[in-house]
Structure 1
Amino acid sequence: MAWRIPALRAWWARRPPAAGAAVMATGIVSVGLNLVGHESLSLAALALACAAWIGLAADFGVLLLRDRTKWVAQAGSPGALTAVAATTVVGTRFALLGATPVAAALLALAALLWPVLLVPVVRGWGPRMPGAVFLGCVATEGLAVLGATLSATTSTAWPAHAALVPFWFGLVVYAVALFRFDPREVVRGAGDQWVAGGALAISALAGAKLLTAA
């Protein structure tokens, strides 16, 4: 077993900045399973998402303290915004679970992290960007979804009112990203071109939740 530890460390060190997408996807599966009534499976998926989130969050902090240059380089990658999106998805599941303090804490954390990552990412945008350019919209709308969900689960109006800000701003980010997106990526992209559709989907979800919360 000892020989596997260095290999595991090497594998972990090579993970991309977009590794948060795994947490986001697992969290979405957990939410979906909850909505169709498979609570046990939903909680199992949530546990996996939380374990991965904790690991990535710990590495995020360690990298910031030990290798700030590498941290800054990774923070400027569009994939880094999956950290914000993943946090909001996990928070949304906790909100549906009734764990309001945890969901609120994750919303606050995501809101603090959002400008720290979004600003350098947007500064790095150029012409003919890949589909990852739409992650700015995904992360922003994730804040709106979590805020609207908290509003609905707590019967409190102000989180939904506050969530209107990231909702509308997310649509603006999408429009700007669409202008930067290389249309040729639809055919030859590595797979991240589908984020263009995913960003619209989460925007629609945010809008629907805000209407319900209202």
Structure 2
Amino acid sequence: MSERSPSGSAGRWATLPPATGSAVMATGILSVGLHLTGFELLSVVALWLASALWLLLTIGFTALFLGDRRRWRTSAGTPPALTAVAATTVLGVRYELLGWTPVAVGLLVLAALVWPVLLIAVLRHLTRRAPGAAFLICVATQGLAVLSAVLAPTCGDWLAWAALPLFLLGLVLYGDALTRFDFGQVVRGAGDHWIAGGAMAISALAGSKLLASGVWSGGAETALRTTTLVLLALDLIWYVVLLGGEIVRPRPGYDLLRWATVFPLGMTAVAALSTSAATGVGWLDSLGRVLLWIAVAVCLLTAYGFARAR
């Protein structure tokens, strides 16, 4: 098949940068958090918005693959391309919470097929002094772990066992991204520097979902509980550090990468809520509720900035 430029409506969506997937991740995780805190109507609205944008981005991603293979390969080798995997798994989690297990399973299969292709391409091109988007190698992997663990009670314990190596690999990939991260991004990043904390948050969420699966007992359960609490503590430390960077050097203007700020804020809230439920640490639930509304407020501000920019 000869390469050709995408055309028509699909072609317009094919021109969207891969980082647009952060908007799906942000809206999707807020939907999960709103569901966990009892705001079902707002949660469903956020879910449909995230699903609609995911569908448009999927059409564009496919159109680019079919119409301009060279440009697709270039995009696929950048860390933001992994938002395709992360966004798909976040939506899968929300659909499973809605009781739509076949949809959640389908999204898990799709994410699992795309993940190794994009991960290998990104790792081959990852450089030193990387921006916060480098942590997406961890986020995408932990997204698979989270969705697998969430589906385990319905589809079988084997999914929890499959999630465990993904969880551990995600931690290794976090370490790799941390060695490459340009820490100067904390005070000058355009928004994706928050993924440094968001990757730790989704790691804590993966640990809490593994713990809640009921597969583990004895020493393994204790180790998983301790690891989850430590990961959440590290995420909260990142939260304070990144917030301090925003205070020291405010960056109020809209940037597409600000959606990559909303996602870690929402993910930290959901991780706190989930960890509270899995470990029985009650005050984490209250903390998660407060952090959730902070994330919602930042999401609304980002959406307003997006509307003004258009």
TM above 0.5, one fold? yes
Equivalent residues of 2:160, 2:213 under 8 A apart: yes
For each residue in 1:119-147, what CA deviation from the matched residue of structure 2 results, as whole angstroms up to 9, or x when unmatched? 11111111111111001100000001101
Q: Is residue 2:44 matched to residue 1:22?
A: no
* Runs of 4+ off more than 4 Å: 8-14
Query: Which residue does 2:160 correspond to in 1?
Result: 160
* RMSD (Å) for aligned C-alpha atoms: 1.7
Q: Measure, in 1, the Cα distance between the counterparts of 2:116 and 2:195.
A: 20
- CA 1:105–1:11 in 2, change beyond 3 Å: closer, same or farther? closer
Q: Measure, in 2, the Cα distance between the counterparts of 1:206 and 1:10.
A: 36
- CA 1:35–1:16 in 2, change beyond 3 Å: closer, same or farther? same
Question: Offset at 1:164?
Answer: 0.7
More displaced 10-residue stretch of structure 1: 181-190 or 56-65: 181-190
Q: Measure, in 1, the Cα distance between the counterparts of 2:11 and 2:103.
A: 32
Q: Measure, in 2, the Cα distance between the counterparts of 1:145 and 1:169.
A: 13
- The amino acid that maps onto 2:112 is A
Q: Measure, in 1, the Cα distance between the counterparts of 2:107 and 2:158.
A: 17
Q: Measure, in 2, the Cα distance between the counterparts of 1:127 and 1:211.
A: 34
- The amino acid that maps onto 1:122 is L
SS at match of 2:28: helix
Question: Offset at 1:41?
Answer: 1.6
- The amino acid that maps onto 1:198 is G
Q: Measure, in 2, the Cα distance between the counterparts of 1:30 and 1:183.
A: 31
- The amino acid that maps onto 2:135 is F
Question: Offset at 1:13?
Answer: 5.2
Query: Which residue does 1:33 correspond to in 2?
Result: 34
Query: Which residue does 2:92 correspond to in 1?
Result: 91
Query: Which residue does 1:5 correspond to in 2?
Result: none
Question: Offset at 1:88?
Answer: 0.1
- The amino acid that maps onto 1:164 is L
- CA 1:184–1:56 in 2, change beyond 3 Å: closer, same or farther? same
Number of corresponding residues: 207
Q: Measure, in 1, the Cα distance between the counterparts of 2:10 and 2:88.
A: 24
Query: Which residue does 2:196 correspond to in 1?
Result: 196
For each residue in 1:49-91, what CA deviation from the matched residue of structure 2 results, as whole angstroms up to 9, or x when unmatched? 1111111111111111111011111101110000000000000
Query: How does the TM-score come out when normalised to structure 1?
Result: 0.92
Q: Measure, in 1, the Cα distance between the counterparts of 2:68 and 2:36.
A: 41
Q: Measure, in 2, the Cα distance between the counterparts of 1:119 and 1:155.
A: 28
Query: Which residue does 2:257 correspond to in 1?
Result: none
- CA 1:9–1:104 in 2, change beyond 3 Å: closer, same or farther? closer
- Structure 1 unmatched runs, 5+: 1-7
- Structure 2 unmatched runs, 5+: 1-8, 215-310
Q: Measure, in 2, the Cα distance between the counterparts of 1:190 and 1:50.
A: 25
Question: Offset at 1:187?
Answer: 1.9
Query: Which residue does 1:143 correspond to in 2?
Result: 144
SS at match of 2:49: helix
Query: Which residue does 1:187 correspond to in 2?
Result: 187
Q: Measure, in 2, the Cα distance between the counterparts of 1:148 and 1:78.
A: 24
Query: Which residue does 1:205 correspond to in 2?
Result: 205
SS at match of 2:161: helix
Task: Percent identity, please.
Answer: 61
Query: Which residue does 1:171 correspond to in 2?
Result: 171
Q: Measure, in 2, the Cα distance between the counterparts of 1:49 and 1:32.
A: 14
Q: Measure, in 2, the Cα distance between the counterparts of 1:105 and 1:14.
A: 26
Larger radius of gyration: 2
More displaced 10-residue stretch of structure 1: 185-194 or 159-168: 185-194
Query: Which residue does 2:117 correspond to in 1?
Result: 116
